[in-house]
Amino acid sequence: MKKIMITGALGQIGSELTVKLREIYGSNNVLATDIRKTESTVVNSGPFELLDVLEADRMYTLAKDFGADTMIHMAALLSATAEAKPLLAWNLNMGGLVNALETSRDLGLQLFSPSSIGAFGPSTPKQNTPQDTLQRPTTMYGVNKVAGELLCDYYFEKFGVDTRGVRFPGLISYDTPPGGGTTDYAVDIYYKALEQGKYTSYIKQGTYMDMMYMPDALQAIVDLMEADGSKLIHRNAFNVTAMSFEPEQIAVSIRKHIPNFELSYDVDPIRQAIADSWPNAIDASAAKDEWDFKAQYDLDTMTKDMLEKLSLKLNKND
């Protein structure tokens, strides 16, 4: 990775990934693109272009003119939004990926495309979910992710495009809030803990999902993209995770810092059904074996850092 173009650079992952990649590879070597433009670090700290990922010609031209050797394709709808607007999700999630694959094929780019724990479904083993297992998701987001994984592997096998991906769990960060995901509760809970001392969870007590703190997720992308391709047995996409918990366990972790924190429940049946169709805890051993994946943060170290950073951010905004 030397000249990198990112799509969806103002999204939940892109906004932090762009900054990290600019620190590593140099600001002028990372072209951020998004469908909108905001007053933000991403827009102000290096090259930025407006891009709707459904515009194939513009995507190709931007990558070519920039001299990109890598594409990181982040523009997509998350699970709950995709469930509310399934046709839009199909068109955007698949259409954007096809354009990224075609651009990568034409220009010889390395391509990263994220998959998700959403690529699993109710018939997948829930505990210690293997790398290679049944994938029959029941959500539109999951259908997009499985189709995307297969398509990326197809472009590698058929056209030699160096496609790589991970199945991200819920990602937690103090920077850009997620939008329209099922795991978003695990971010909201920290904001509400600091702002109100209490939180009402739309996910039911006892619902386990995999999660990861954003710094570990960003490092995983860099490590996978830098890994020796000849050592990769899998490509699209590797299970990665740092922890698995249910809502009560975050509450316990938060109470170590905010003793009176209260957690209550008002379950959203749509997002609960999505969560129930996903694994409880996935096995990341293929990622560890093939490219040395590691996560630094567990629930308590993440909670401490999250509360510290978020309280600085919220106080600044007062």
Site residues, ligand SER (CB under 6 A): 78-79, 116-118, 168, 170, 181-183
Other beta carbons less than 10 A from residue 309's beta carbon: 14
Which residue is at the shortest CB distance from ligand SER? 181
- Smallest distance from the beta carbon of 87 to ligand SER, in angstroms? 18
Return d(Cα 156, Cα 66) in angstroms, integer.
23
- Smallest distance from the beta carbon of 141 to ligand SER, in angstroms? 6
CA–chain centroid gap for 54, Å, is 20
Determine which one of 25, 60, 141, 190 is catalytic: 141
45 in helix, strand or coil?
A: coil
Could you give the maximum distance between any two Cα atoms of the chain, in Å? 57
What single-letter amino acid sits at 150?
L
Q: Is 141 annotated as catalytic?
A: yes
Judge whether 314 and 308 are in contact, CB under 8 Å.
Answer: no
What single-letter amino acid sits at 60?
Y
- Which is nearer to ligand SER, 117 or 161 (by Cβ)? 117
Return d(Cα 67, Cα 100) in angstroms, integer.
15
- Smallest distance from the beta carbon of 257 to ligand SER, in angstroms? 24
- Smallest distance from the beta carbon of 240 to ligand SER, in angstroms? 11
Return d(Cα 54, Cα 47) in angstroms, integer.
21
- Which is nearer to ligand SER, 43 or 250 (by Cβ)? 250
- Which is nearer to ligand SER, 46 or 114 (by Cβ)? 114
Axis crossing angle, helix 56-66 with helix 95-107, rounded to the nearest 10: 40
- Smallest distance from the beta carbon of 311 to ligand SER, in angstroms? 24
- Which is nearer to ligand SER, 116 or 201 (by Cβ)? 116
Return d(Cα 299, Cα 128) in angstroms, integer.
18
Return d(Cα 21, Cα 2) in angstroms, integer.
10
- Which is nearer to ligand SER, 29 or 93 (by Cβ)? 93
- Smallest distance from the beta carbon of 252 to ligand SER, in angstroms? 22
Strands 209-213 and 243-245: antiparallel
Judge whether 104 and 69 are in contact, CB under 8 Å.
Answer: no
- Which is nearer to ligand SER, 7 or 29 (by Cβ)? 7
Judge whether 64 and 109 are in contact, CB under 8 Å.
Answer: no
Task: Give the residue numbers marked as catalytic.
Answer: 141
